[in-house]
Structure 1
């Protein structure tokens, strides 16, 4: 039997913290219209061990369809999870965890909805240093 892998994360402002365990670190991407509206891209979620997911802080939910809901931080608006109503399963947002908790992308949903503005191509790609130099030069080398 594999050992449990405890993971801890937080929303952008830190008011909501999340804890869970993962035996098999799996990440999935959803490109449905609602996920794209909610995140402006795709929703990346983690599959965590059943019953291990615990949120602490000002979590709000929005019932986005007859069968699903989405959670977010009441303070900063960070996306926290996607959940199915019928079985109560919640998939936390991968971005809540450093390095997406080491999970491997194993699948994509609604790939036929992927927009034409995906990230492949010859567009400008800037490093952290280059981006800070453009938008926040006062931070300099401190970031």
Structure 2
């Protein structure tokens, strides 16, 4: 079981499903919302149990982003046409055993850092 929460603890989540697609997103939306690179993985939406009130922001015509209305922690990403939900790896409690597989939206990354870990990079 993986468990996580926001900074203040008002929003918690858990899943027993194996996380898929662990990645680091470098898109400008993730950078602006998180202040840097956003690490996430996804599970089927119905396999993620969320407790607490989530503030959903329609970031684009294709997806919404979920955060805690109290502390502002950015926790979730959901494409409108998919049945999966991404969650912030940084919000997980304890060791996870999850390893990042790739970097995504690297064409949009900030110019203030380099990606030098040898993992797959997708534009």
Length-normalised TM-score, structure 2: 0.83
Match of 1:43 among 38, 46, 57: 38
Rounded to whole Å, the distance in 1 between the matches of 2:114 and 2:96 is: 22
Length-normalised TM-score, structure 1: 0.72
SS in 2 for 1:46: strand
- Alpha-carbon shift at residue 78 of structure 1 (Å): 0.5
- Alpha-carbon shift at residue 47 of structure 1 (Å): 2.3
- Alpha-carbon shift at residue 77 of structure 1 (Å): 0.6
Question: Once superposed, what is the RMSD of the aligned Cα atoms?
Answer: 2.1
Kept in 2, the 8 Å contact 1:70–1:81? The answer is yes
1:73 and 2:63 are equivalent in the alignment:
no
Q: Which has the larger radius of gyration?
A: 1
Which gives a bigger RCO, structure 1 or 2 (Cα 8 Å, sep 6+)? 2
Gaps of 5+ in 2: 116-123
Rounded to whole Å, the distance in 2 between the matches of 1:75 and 1:33 is: 24
Gaps of 5+ in 1: 1-5, 121-143
